[in-house]
Amino acid sequence: MIDRARASALRLLALDVDGVLTDGRLYYGNDGEELKAFNIKDGVGLKLLQQAGVAVAIITGRRSQIVERRATELGIAHVVQGREDKRAALEELCASLDLALSQCAYMGDDLPDLGALRAAAIGLAPADAVEAVAEAADWQSRYPGGGGCVREACEQLLHAMDRREATEAAYR
């Protein structure tokens, strides 16, 4: 269960990509192209969260044009790529947005995410997160990375913020 008091202060959800927005597998073609599969339900969840006034950011250790494209499709303006120190990246992002870490949630699945997950007010993890991340998280999804974990996290955050019904009303 996500703490309602912490959720009420939420202004930013930052996400890892591989293992969170995707299943973590990397597909390479013979010509060097890289492919990633994103879950469309995760995208709707992120749009619902944005409609509720929560900004979304991506912080990833890798660099990929595919990530830029997906972020653009989802209206995610804050994309930080090629950063192994995700805690420092989250702190810098918060500073640039004039936010405190107490206003952030972070979702990650592996050891490079641990610092950011612990620094954020709300740490989130997919079902298949490594043990250390799962133990550090405040909440863990029933779904794996790339399998709807982000959508479930968005719904749980909206519920904890008492905004889920209002944001879903437009679709009824």
As a whole number of Å, the end-to-end CA separation of the chain is 26
Q: Exposed (0-12), middle (13-18) or buried (19+): which is 37, by Cβ within 10 Å?
A: exposed
Q: Structural domains in the chain?
A: 4-171 (3.40.50.1000)
Give the separation between CA 3 and CA 80, rounded to whole angstroms. 27
Query: Per-residue confidence at 168, pLDDT binned at 50, 70, 90?
Result: confident
Digit-coded pLDDT (tens) for 37-74? 999 999 999 999 999 999 999 999 999 999 999 999 99
Predicted local distance difference test score (pLDDT) of residue 171: 77
pTM of the entire predicted model:
0.96
pLDDT, tens only, 120-131? 999 999 999 999
